Amino acid sequence: MARADTLARARKLDRPELAYLVRFSAADGTTDMELTWAELARDTAWVAGALRGHGLAAGQRALLNTSGFEGFWGRAVIGALSELRVTYGIAEAMGWDHRRTAVFHRELNPHAVIGLSADTLEGLAGAADVAEMFRPTALVLARPAAVPVLRGLGIPAALIAAVGPALALECPERQGGHVNAAEWRVGARDGELFVAAGEQRTSSLPETPLGIAGRVVTGSCACGSQDPRVQLAEAGPALSARS
Ligand SMILES: [Zn+2]
């Protein structure tokens, strides 16, 4: 059968709604949650809005540090970068792949680095001046453990963090990572975060304690968003964008 015929037939097949099974660490152990293609599309649109808020625009370049198992948010970020027409390269967030981060950073001269990890910073520190490397980068969205390291070096990193199956993304105000309130309900009890599926989420998740130390700030943010902000103890105190 010709390839065109095969593709035409494949297009008629039912597409399963399930895109991913998201496996995450909760306070009571490993938990699974479904992620549908429709949810992924909404997550992608939300991430695109957040990145647009940071000034990402067509023609710019980005470096994304992510691992395959993080596809539940990594794919939303990739989709958002495509939507914004930002060219991107991907390096692992694991420390062993820090050389790829160094090469992409040198060759791409990216406007944004997204998902930078403390492990990668540690790997880079042996061969490069990390402060000098990331100071010219307009936007560094870093993981919780990397945020205080970068801020200590004078780089105003913003937070990107998985909060269970949800994604927290700090806006330019840097007052905690926004979580999409339409899709998730986040809160804190006794200083520990919990997450539950929100009103729009079709995949179910009851209120699940995450065993992550932090707090949640509600009310409107100076960026204009009403989405709650997650402040992780690990990421250090919130940073004022104007300081
Ligand atoms: Zn904000």
Domain borders along the chain are: 22-235
228 Cα to the center of ligand 1, angstroms: 9
Residue 233 has a pLDDT of: 92
- Position 243 pLDDT exceeds 50: no
- How far away, in angstroms, is 222 Cα from ligand 1 center? 6
Note the pLDDT of residue 240.
Answer: 56
Burial label, 238 (beta-carbon count in 10 A; 0-12, 13-18, 19+)? middle
Distance 52 CA to ligand 1 centre (A): 12
Which range has the worst mean pLDDT, 66-70, 87-91, 171-175? 66-70
Please give the distance, rounded to the nearest whole angstrom, from the Cα atom of residue 172 to the centre of ligand 1: 7
Contacts of 31 (CB under 8 A, 6+ apart): 23, 24, 25, 164, 208
- pLDDT at 241 > cutoff 60: no
Cα–Cα distance between 4 and 194 in angstroms, integer?
49
- Give residue 87 CA to ligand 1 midpoint distance, Å: 25
Section 39-43 average pLDDT = 97
**Domain 22-235 bears CATH identifier 3.40.50.720:** no
| pLDDT of amino acid 11 | 81
C-alpha 4/C-alpha 19 separation (Å) is 25
pLDDT, tens digit, 9 for 90 and up, residues 119-148: 999 999 988 899 999 999 999 999 999 999
**pLDDT value for 12:** 84
Return all residues near 226 (Cβ < 8 A) that are at least 6 apart: 181, 219, 220
Distance 185 CA to ligand 1 centre (A): 17
pLDDT score at 1: 56
Burial zone of 72 (CB within 10 Å; 0-12 exposed, 13-18 middle, 19+ buried) = buried
How remote is the CA of residue 219 from the centroid of ligand 1, in Å?
Answer: 10
Length of the chain: 243
* Amino acid sitting at position 72: F
Cα atoms in the Cβ-side hemisphere of radius 13 Å centred on 82: 9
CA atoms of 49 and 43, how far apart (whole Å): 10
Tell me the β-bridge partners of 134: none
Distance 225 CA to ligand 1 centre (A): 6
pLDDT of residue 15: 78
Q: Are 98 and 123 contacting, i.e. CB atoms less than 8 angstroms apart?
A: yes
